[in-house]
Structure 1
Amino acid sequence: MAVYVYAIIAAHHPARTDDLTGVGDPPEELSTIGDSDLTAIVSPAPEGLRARRRDVMAHQNVLERLMADGPVLPLRFGTVASEPQEVQEILEERGDFYRERLQALTGCAEYLLKASFDEDFMIRQVLRESAEAQRLNEESRRTGDPNVKVRLGEIIVKELQARGESAAAEVREAMRPLAREIHENDLHGDDFVSVSFLVEETRRKDFLAAEAELAEQWGEGYDFRLHGPLPPYSFV
């Protein structure tokens, strides 16, 4: 029987999930697989599982309940093992790694910081601050030469990339001292930074205050978005 796996916890974790159900329609009952050190929270794996809202929320609810009582190694939605014995074998084979990660995550939660800039705002800034961009912009307006427009576009793209990389480095370094670990994520859309921070609960207020101050300092033209606390997917 295939099993759906939600998370791995220490065996001494309270795992207060008696009033919760898992994924599936009807919802599957939760159970555990483990030994004296590690426990996996599982349920029977329903056939044809897709990322429906009810199932995604059921997965999230299990993780949030577990996180309230101790460190958790969360698994991504849709993680399925072919049979219970496979889960038991993985716990045994990778037990040292899981125990180390649970120790590292104790008292922590993940926060995801993303930031983007308004491209029109940044282009205006480049045109104000780059003498070469100013010259090409004026020449392009005067002559309409498409080659000049291409060179101007290349300079602007290069400047935007350099400014994004510089800004990302500043953001990371400003927040790094307040986190136990950090993880850089792939960039999507207009974001110039996407970083996950593993933050100790005792430093949470300082971290949130520092992020708010950072967003205020950068001000116009920049959009900072902070998500969390989240299950620490980035640090498993």
Structure 2
Amino acid sequence: MMLLYAVAATDSTGDTVDTPLQAHRSRGLTVFVEPRTQPPERSMHELLGFGRALHQLWSNVPVLPMRFGTVVSDSDELDELVAERESEWTDRIAAVTGCSECIVHLPLPEDVPERVRDEQTGTDYLRRRAKELKQHDAEIAELRALLAPYASEITKLSSIRPQEARLSVLLPDEHVEAARTAIRDWGENRPGVTVTGPWPPFSFCQEESP
């Protein structure tokens, strides 16, 4: 059994990848794998180890991460998977090569306290809430337009903190600092707006499982 970690273009790997994982080459792609006797447990220890391995790989070569826990029985099954996904994976590797990811954190409109809500009519509350959400959508659109000259792709991520929206931006490495500066300038008069990264662009890598 093989636990799959990530896939890279073979011509970019060379002998530069420093990893304890095995490199399985097939049809112009290299899949980094770990031999296993059984699938990994879905534990924090296993997840963190998987994440560290992905970041180590990305520090050497652009990779697409596989979904955690994806396994194949043997090299023949892996070759079949590569044959099925080769075109898709090759295109996505090309899209993220030479790029990094920055994440813009934007505060969502806060709901009014219940005591204040009780003092309003239902219509007044709904109108106020609709106005706030419309303003938030307008800010997202404004930010997308601001980043369009720098970004290859922009996507909205699911929220992981209450009252916070996240916009992820795929940036060619030469545009990262200019884009970060533009975001910071845009957010100066918008309390709570922050930008993190650059990170490996894993939000733009389509994770796959067989």
Hey, what does 2:173 align to over in structure 1?
201
Runs of 4+ in 1 over 4 A off after TM superposition: none
Matched ranges for 1:58-73 at <5 A: 58-73=49-64
CA shift for structure 1 position 178? 1.2
RMSD of aligned Cα (Å): 2.7
SS at match of 2:41: coil
Q: Which amino acid aligns with 2:184?
A: A
Q: Distance in 2 between matches of 1:178 and 1:231?
A: 15
User: Once the 2 structures are TM-superposed, how far is the Cα of residue 225 of structure 1 from its aligned partner?
Assistant: 4.5
Does 1:233 pair with 2:203? yes
| Aligned residue among 163, 174, 180 for 1:190 | 163
3-state SS of 1:119 partner: coil
1:231 CA displacement: 3.9
* Aligned positions, number: 200
2:187 aligned counterpart, secondary structure:
helix
- Give TM-score, length-normalised by structure 1: 0.72
Q: Tell me which protein shows more helix as a share of its residues.
A: 1
Name the CA shift for 1:180/1:119 in 2 (closer, same or farther; >3 Å): same
Q: Deviations over 1:59-95 (max 9, x none)?
A: 2222222212232111232222344322211211221
Q: Which residue of 1 aligns with 2:48?
A: 57
Q: Is 1:111 aligned to 2:83, yes or no?
A: no
CA separation of 1:46/1:215 partners in 2, compared to 1, >3 Å: closer, same or farther? Answer: farther
Measured in 2, the distance between the counterparts of 1:223 and 1:51 equals 34
| 1:17 corresponding residue in structure 2 | 18
Q: From the CA coordinates, give the structure whose radius of gyration is larger.
A: 1
Amino acid in structure 1 at the alignment position of 2:134: A
C-alpha contact 1:4 1:42 (8 A) present in aligned 2: yes
Q: In the alignment, which residue of structure 1 is the partner of 2:124?
A: 152
1:76 aligns with 2:46: no
Do 1:116 and 1:190's aligned partners in 2 also have CA atoms closer than 8 Å? yes
Q: Cα distance, 1:169 vs. partner?
A: 1.0
Counterpart code for 1:5: L
The answer for the alignment partner of 2:89 in structure 1 is 98
2:154 aligned with 1:163: no
Question: Which of 174, 185, 192 in structure 2 is aligned with 1:213?
Answer: 185
Q: TM-score with structure 2 length normalisation? A: 0.80
**Cα distance in 2, alignment partners of residues 48 and 79 from structure 1:** 8
Matched, 1:43 2:34: yes
- 2:148 aligns to what SS in structure 1? helix
The corresponding residue for 1:133 is none
